Structure 1
């Protein structure tokens, strides 16, 4: 009886050791699966399920962003380039514009392409953008236009991570150490296949 109890305790402890949680913010129980209808850089209508099969990082921003967007996307690009070829082939980054009036399909394609081949630019009409931002609780707001018609857009800077089946896994915030984000992205891209 004692040996059976000891074996049971050992198996529970070992199971607990293998059950790793994400170093960043775990969102698998609170965010819905990847789902949207948007327009890609070729002007084609695409859906969330079109991007299943690879680990997917999603970032909401806009191409005229002076600081947060290019910094975040450059960090993601650097992280992806540090992965081995096989792992890198299993990851993609979707850049979803929250500024559809300026971010046409051609503009988001050119912008996303600048960060690496894993990056895909997406846009859409205002209703489609609102549908996907509401789904993932992304707030954004347009600032006042200046005399040239330029304006800033205040928006979230978080990166959402989805597994190959489109299930939400973790969220990377600016406050997370880069090493934690890198570890989680590598682990996510290495899973399954």
Structure 2
């Protein structure tokens, strides 16, 4: 059921930014927790995430400023930001140290988000992004579990395992999901000892 926009004003901001990106004609996709929401899960973040290509970021910022948004270019070097009042939209071009490419932006479905159709990142790529955010400085499996549970049938878990195999935190999360019976590593032909030892 769509979230009422008077209770979640970020939805209205999300729709306005998506409309501007469509008008500009640049490739983009909804990502983050609102992409999970668009796929049947529950949003839980305080901002909206879109992915874009790095070469489009300056043009997008200029267009959104002309449309009335306030822009910010933070020092991190992998995203730009716009605000509508106090509502934040992140426009990310290098999520989890993986540059957004045409291939990334093809891994989407056109879905309705509160009656506005837009490209939404695949559940598989959303899960990969979530798992690759974990490090020695931040590792909150409780934030990943709702996504894994709500989208598990939409996710290509074998691809998730392949593309996150270098991360010990991601490998541990797959073992946790197997123990909670969210997924079956045996069914994926990924031996548990291989996941633990990789």
Question: So what's the TM-score if we normalise by structure 2?
Answer: 0.27
Higher RCO (CA 8 Å, separation ≥ 6 residues): 1
Structure holding more helix per residue = 2
Question: So what's the TM-score if we normalise by structure 1?
Answer: 0.28
Largest Rg, 1 or 2: 1
